[in-house]
Structure 1
Amino acid sequence: MRSPIPDYLLEVLDSCGADAGAVADYIPELAAANPERFGICVATVDGAVYAAGDADVEFTIQSMSKPFTYALALADRGVAGMDERVGVEPSGEAFNEISLDPETGRPRNAMINAGALLTHSLVDGEDAAARSQRVLAGFSRFAGRDLVVDESAFSSEFASAHRNLGMAHLLKASGVLECDPVEVVEGYTRQCSITVSCRDLAMMAATLANAGTHPLTQERLLSRPVVRQVMSVMMTCGMYDAAGDWMTDVGIPAKSGVSGGVIGALPGQVGVAVFSPRLDTHGSSVRGVRVFERLSGDMGMHLMDVAQEGRSALRGSYVSEGEDAVTVYEMQGDLRFSGAETVVRAIAEADHTTTRVALDLTRVYRLHDVGRRMLLECVRRLELDGRGVLVIDPEHTLPPAGSSDGLHVVDSLEEVVARGTDPGRTSP
């Protein structure tokens, strides 16, 4: 069986693809971007990756670099050390506003440009070149592959970096920046010019969602206190002067970039990246924001929509004994997107040796709407593959109320075995 998740992502792209906004034109290289590009990638904390559209098209990371540089600086300086230099309060202002504390000169947070410039300067390195190399090497480890700087984009952006240069000189004058202002702006611009794809960004975000451990390499790249600090600042400050709307409508720690990317990291579940170059008035991808709103609603991803804690959704799978054997998948707990994805993936990847499959929901105490829809689609696809599907569901949690889905429902495994090739009763 083929997983339904890539098809769902394609449908999301199709539904969120209306034209609106405009590409960033204050940086010549970005002004030449193809506005029709549109891609998405979702990476789970255990390493599964789902992509659709232009997910492998490369573009410059821009401000989506800020959480990861902040993470490196936190690892080098410690949370308390960084708090002395860069604040954590939402500025309520655009990304390029000169937003400094009037008493201390500290930038309000690390997600606005003033804070990002100072944060770059606080990454360990004996000189500007060493700092830039540490940032590039760190980003490469987050992505799981060697990344490079787009030198054309760097030259284009640095040639028009007058406002950032002004901020850096102001930081120097305020006494909070110790390095040469021009070198810092050059290093920060080089940081923003690292090229990535949605696939890279989703894996980087999934590393944050996985408490700092890379989902594929299993290398611990960040400590839990660092990840908690980064995710907290992303949640409150990552979307600039639209942070309040984002928090209420989407509820996922996120960061946007003027190249058209948006990343989100949902703790313990997934990293998501969307790319579409047309921007709104806040400097965020119009279609990217729409996609996140759709995913949050469909998948129950809002951070404040808290699920009850539970163990792994897939308790186990086995083949029953007897002549009319059946492959049984036992589920448990609170079944939301991440749990349902684990079950669907196990079924999709299995080499079934039986003609019948049973989904055992006996131990499922709550079935979220997205989990229900994913399991129903799984049933449909298994049947298209020629397999008989039964649902062990004594509480009838899978069929929506009043629905007649034609599901073959039984109350126990014993009924499955006793019925042999008879698929069982159809749900009312």
Structure 2
Amino acid sequence: MKTPVPDYLNHVLSQCNLNDSGALADYIPELANADPNKLALALSTVDGTVYTTGDDDVEFTIQSMSKPFAYALAIQHLGLEKVLQKVGVEPSGEAFNQISLDAKTKLPKNPMINSGAITTHSLIPHDDQISRAEHLRRFLSELAGRELSFDEQVYASELKTAFRNLSIGYMLRTVGVLDEDPVDVVNGYIRQCAIKVTVKDLANITSVLANGGIQAKTGKQLLDRGIVRQVLSVMMTCGMYDAAGDWLSTVGIPAKSGVAGGIIGVLPGQVGIAVFSPKLDEHGNSARGIQIFERLSNDMGLHLMEGTPSAQTIVQRRYSPQQDDSIVIYELVGALQFAEAEMLLRIVQEEPNGNNTIIFDLNNLSLMNDVGRRMLIEGIDRLIEDGHEVVVVDPDYLIEQELTDRGQVMTIYRHLDDFLSKLSGLTKSE
């Protein structure tokens, strides 16, 4: 069988492709020339598996999606306490490019708006050989698993219209938040935003955040867990600017957008998500990207406030009883939510076509949410279509009917011994 995850992502993209709302970021000349019809979606798991669909090889500039990672680098370099002395963590409720500071502290309110991001950029380590933007490019390349580069045309285009960011930089220098020439810092910040990525790159990057700072493919700890927690917390409350409250209530995933049309989202211990569609809504967030995230959150039960502890492994063991290779039992354990169901289906898709009996033993499942149930039943449908008989051992009535969504029959037993006893009886009579 083939895992249904790619088919589902294709379906979501085809549905959201009908949305023609929004407009290109025309205040940056190079972004105003972008193809408004480009659309891509990528999803990564904590073990580093990446699913993509749409224009997944198209490169675009990371823009403000660089802000969480610049923040992470600053904390990694200076420590959280020193960073908090320069930039706060409170939601601003203002547009991303608002020229303002916190009324009491005289600091930028958070690192996700431009005043905070310019400040954060000034805190990235650098020397005569490696600029701050280059340092961040190298770090993002390591997270992405490939060498990233700068878009020199977008960088030059943004420099020509950087008056507002320069105003913010001079304001920060006036109040003592910046200790050096604001023009140099702002130019570096604009170059930081011009790093080129694809949704595949962003999926690999967000996979590291979803996995607590560990790059699954290499096992390397690229970010301390405490830094990941701090970054995701600020993304949750501030990442979508003056739409952050609406985002929290409807999508419920720590996220960050960029004016080139990208949005990244991370559900800790579950998934990383990246979308790309250049037309923006009134808040500066990708219009189709917002719709895609809403669909994924609702369909897959990803809202953070619905979350329950997630097991990293769903299959406790795979075995055949009584040395009978025609019967394969998958003994499941823990919670069956999206991440676990995706892992299960990816394992089961290795079963060859044939007429074997596949048994899913749910005896040790502590929880099965709606998306986990739907994905399991979809997998059962596909196994039956491949020629297998499917049996479900379900002592807790987690699956309510013996018919799949396609009207196919799966046999349900309350106890595994009941099936094995029946099987033994049939064998003896034969």
Do residues 390 (structure 1) and 395 (structure 2) align? no
Equivalent residue runs for 1:17-416 within 5 Å = 17=17, 18-127=19-128, 129-308=130-309, 312-323=313-324, 325-350=326-351, 355-399=356-400, 406-416=409-419
RMSD after superposition: 2.2
* In structure 2, distance between residues paired with 1:139 and 1:106: 27
* In structure 2, distance between residues paired with 1:127 and 1:99: 32
Q: Is the 8 A contact 1:325 1:417 kept in 2?
A: no
Name the % identity. 49
Q: Is the 8 A contact 2:353 2:388 kept in 1?
A: no
Using a 3 Å threshold, how does the CA distance of structure 1 residues 102 and 205 change in structure 2: closer, same or farther? same
* In structure 1, distance between residues paired with 2:243 and 2:324: 61
- What's the TM-score, normalizing by structure 1? 0.94
Using a 3 Å threshold, how does the CA distance of structure 1 residues 7 and 417 change in structure 2: closer, same or farther? same
Offset, 1:402:
10
Structure 1 letter corresponding to 2:196: T
Counterpart in 2 of 1:16?
16
* Deviation string, structure 1 residues 106-156 (Cα, Å, up to 9, x no partner): 111100001101100100112595222211111111111110001111111
* In structure 1, distance between residues paired with 2:254 and 2:296: 13
Structure 1 letter corresponding to 2:412: V
* In structure 1, distance between residues paired with 2:197 and 2:110: 24
* In structure 1, distance between residues paired with 2:44 and 2:312: 20
* In structure 2, distance between residues paired with 1:272 and 1:340: 17
* In structure 2, distance between residues paired with 1:208 and 1:386: 40
Offset, 1:321:
2.5
* In structure 2, distance between residues paired with 1:109 and 1:38: 30
Using a 3 Å threshold, how does the CA distance of structure 1 residues 350 and 274 change in structure 2: closer, same or farther? same
* In structure 1, distance between residues paired with 2:310 and 2:373: 18
Using a 3 Å threshold, how does the CA distance of structure 1 residues 310 and 150 change in structure 2: closer, same or farther? closer
* In structure 2, distance between residues paired with 1:240 and 1:400: 45
Structure 1 letter corresponding to 2:253: I
Q: Where do 5+ consecutive residues of structure 1 fail to align? A: 424-428
Offset, 1:396:
2.8
Q: Where do 5+ consecutive residues of structure 2 fail to align? A: none
SS in 2 for 1:85: coil
Using a 3 Å threshold, how does the CA distance of structure 1 residues 186 and 32 change in structure 2: closer, same or farther? same
SS in 2 for 1:321: helix
Comparing 176-185 and 95-104, the one that deviates more = 95-104
Using a 3 Å threshold, how does the CA distance of structure 1 residues 304 and 180 change in structure 2: closer, same or farther? same
Using a 3 Å threshold, how does the CA distance of structure 1 residues 169 and 257 change in structure 2: closer, same or farther? same
Comparing 409-418 and 331-340, the one that deviates more = 409-418
* Deviation string, structure 1 residues 148-169 (Cα, Å, up to 9, x no partner): 0011111111111111111111
Structure 1 letter corresponding to 2:260: S
* In structure 1, distance between residues paired with 2:228 and 2:412: 44
Structure 1 letter corresponding to 2:348: I
Comparing 100-109 and 249-258, the one that deviates more = 100-109
Q: Is the 8 A contact 1:359 1:391 kept in 2?
A: yes
* Deviation string, structure 1 residues 209-241 (Cα, Å, up to 9, x no partner): 111111222211111111111011000000000
Using a 3 Å threshold, how does the CA distance of structure 1 residues 402 and 348 change in structure 2: closer, same or farther? closer
- What's the TM-score, normalizing by structure 2? 0.93
Offset, 1:318:
1.4
Structure 2 letter corresponding to 1:7: D
Q: Is the 8 A contact 2:341 2:372 kept in 1?
A: yes
* Deviation string, structure 1 residues 285-315 (Cα, Å, up to 9, x no partner): 1111111111111111111113156573221
* In structure 1, distance between residues paired with 2:144 and 2:390: 39
Using a 3 Å threshold, how does the CA distance of structure 1 residues 146 and 416 change in structure 2: closer, same or farther? same
* In structure 2, distance between residues paired with 1:388 and 1:164: 63
Structure 2 letter corresponding to 1:33: A
SS in 2 for 1:349: coil
SS in 1 for 2:218: coil
* In structure 1, distance between residues paired with 2:207 and 2:298: 20
Equivalent residue runs for 1:416-427 within 5 Å = 416-420=419-423
Structure 1 letter corresponding to 2:318: S
* Deviation string, structure 1 residues 370-424 (Cα, Å, up to 9, x no partner): 001101110111111112211112333123699876221123333444555999x
* Alignment size in residue pairs: 423
Q: Is the 8 A contact 1:326 1:354 kept in 2?
A: no
Q: Is the 8 A contact 2:74 2:125 kept in 1?
A: yes
* In structure 2, distance between residues paired with 1:309 and 1:13: 27
* In structure 2, distance between residues paired with 1:140 and 1:398: 44
Q: Is the 8 A contact 2:355 2:389 kept in 1?
A: no
Comparing 331-340 and 256-265, the one that deviates more = 331-340
Q: Is the 8 A contact 2:236 2:253 kept in 1?
A: yes
Q: Is the 8 A contact 1:128 1:187 kept in 2?
A: no
